[in-house]
């Protein structure tokens, strides 16, 4: 086989390689090899030689699956399909839910008022087009959420939590592992405290004792990139986390700190593929107060879809329900439809 005609396999996923090798073996077994008289010259590079050579190339790759990171994995091979969109409730209904959420943790350091003060500081002191400022804003919403969890439960937030090797498909081909930006764990206080004293690796062994919610930081930049463009990779991360914890349902958030998409993923019962719901884009805003000599940005109560209290309220309630199938709540109404993302 000439160099120009060699089969390129580096871009094939594990399942594609498995299928290719199976088909090659079937073709090879169907080829009838005729005996050639010794006096006849033996042709070079026959069809059977080419099939044997290609099979020999594929077999080591199939028998020794690749161990891939989140960024290197092929999310399209996981068959993740959009089930529908989640839209915010009408303004009047939403206002009631936001006002109610403000009272949670009002006696703690990370009260709703303190969150507003921190966000006002960030809005006036940092740009929104770099990773550092984005992470500080995301941290603020998670800090606020820790104050909203009712006793006897407690929330622990872990940064850069590793997810061990997972086989994302039943074929047991390519293995995927990686690091999740934010993992929020909710459990009874004594169990949650163990994640501070000796942080264990989150695994299925803890699945019955804790609830875990995952978030990914989409890096901001001066180049405008829609937040939704980061969704395929984040969906892959959620599917891997769900399989790692042996859960059928999982929730997460994709965010720049300023803009948010909340996501629900339902894994296929047969083990191949998943369906997801994603919220409309939610973005908190500030007001600019100007004077003859200066200006400042203020974050205030508005009780609408631009109020940071909305994001904090969604985050705190979704974290506690991360492993529960989504059937609607005080924040969103479902609109089925979508197809492949």
What's the chain's length in residues? 341
The residues near 180 (Cβ < 8 Å, ≥ 6 apart) are 160, 161, 162, 163, 214, 215, 216, 237, 241
pTM of the model: 0.77
Rounded Cα distance between 253 and 262, Å, is 4
Please tell me the predicted confidence (pLDDT) of residue 12: 55
Please tell me the predicted confidence (pLDDT) of residue 37: 58
Please tell me the predicted confidence (pLDDT) of residue 255: 95
314 backbone φψ class: left, alpha, beta (φ>0; ψ -120 to 50): alpha
128 backbone φψ class: left, alpha, beta (φ>0; ψ -120 to 50): alpha
Rounded Cα distance between 262 and 162, Å, is 21
Residue 235: CA atoms inside 13 Å, Cβ hemisphere, count?
28
Rounded Cα distance between 157 and 41, Å, is 73
299 and 307 Cβ atoms separated by less than 8 Å: no
Please tell me the predicted confidence (pLDDT) of residue 62: 54
Please tell me the predicted confidence (pLDDT) of residue 33: 61
Please tell me the predicted confidence (pLDDT) of residue 25: 74
Rounded Cα distance between 198 and 205, Å, is 16
Please tell me the predicted confidence (pLDDT) of residue 130: 67
Please tell me the predicted confidence (pLDDT) of residue 96: 94
Please tell me the predicted confidence (pLDDT) of residue 8: 46
147 and 157 Cβ atoms separated by less than 8 Å: no
For each of the chain's 341 residues, which pLDDT tens digit applies?
444 444 444 455 555 666 676 777 778 777 766 565 555 555 556 777 777 777 666 655 555 555 565 665 566 667 889 999 999 999 999 999 999 999 999 999 999 999 999 999 988 887 766 676 789 999 999 999 999 999 899 999 999 888 766 655 544 556 777 889 999 999 988 888 777 776 556 655 555 678 999 999 986 555 567 899 999 989 989 998 998 888 999 999 999 999 999 999 999 988 778 999 999 999 999 988 876 677 888 898 999 999 999 999 999 999 999 999 999 999 999 998 765 44
């Amino acid at each position: 086989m000439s160099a120009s005609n060699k089969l390129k396999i580096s871009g094939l996923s594990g399942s594609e390689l498995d299928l290719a090798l199976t088909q090659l073996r079937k073709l090879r077994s169907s080829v009838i090899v005729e005996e050639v008289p010794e006096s006849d010259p033996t042709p070079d590079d026959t069809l059977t030689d080419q099939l044997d050579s290609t099979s020999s190339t594929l077999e080591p790759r199939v028998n020794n699956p690749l161990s891939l990171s989140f960024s290197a994995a092929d999310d399209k091979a996981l068959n993740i399909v959009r089930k529908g969109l989640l839209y915010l409730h009408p303004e009047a209904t939403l206002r009631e839910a936001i006002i109610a959420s403000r009272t949670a943790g009002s006696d703690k350091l990370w009260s709703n008022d303190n969150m507003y003060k921190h966000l006002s500081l960030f809005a006036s002191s940092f740009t929104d087009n770099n990773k550092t400022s984005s992470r500080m804003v995301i941290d603020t919403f998670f800090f606020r959420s820790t104050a909203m969890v009712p006793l006897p439960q407690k929330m622990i937030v872990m940064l850069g939590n590793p997810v061990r090797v997972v086989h994302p498909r039943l074929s047991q081909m390519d293995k995927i592992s990686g690091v999740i930006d934010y993992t929020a764990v909710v459990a009874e206080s004594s169990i949650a405290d163990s994640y501070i004293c000796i942080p264990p690796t989150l695994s299925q062994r803890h699945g019955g004792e804790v609830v875990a919610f995952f978030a990914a930081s989409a890096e901001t930049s001066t180049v405008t990139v829609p937040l939704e463009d980061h969704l395929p990779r984040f969906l892959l991360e959620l599917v891997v986390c769900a399989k790692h914890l042996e859960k059928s349902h999982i929730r997460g958030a994709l965010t720049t700190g300023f803009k948010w998409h909340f996501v629900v993923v339902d894994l296929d019962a047969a083990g191949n593929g998943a369906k997801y719901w994603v919220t409309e884009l939610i973005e908190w805003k500030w007001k600019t107060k100007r004077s003859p000599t200066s200006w400042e940005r203020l974050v205030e109560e508005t009780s609408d879809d631009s109020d940071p209290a909305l994001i904090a309220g969604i985050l705190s309630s979704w974290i506690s329900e991360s492993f529960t199938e989504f059937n609607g709540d005080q924040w969103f109404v479902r609109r089925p439809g979508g197809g492949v993302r």
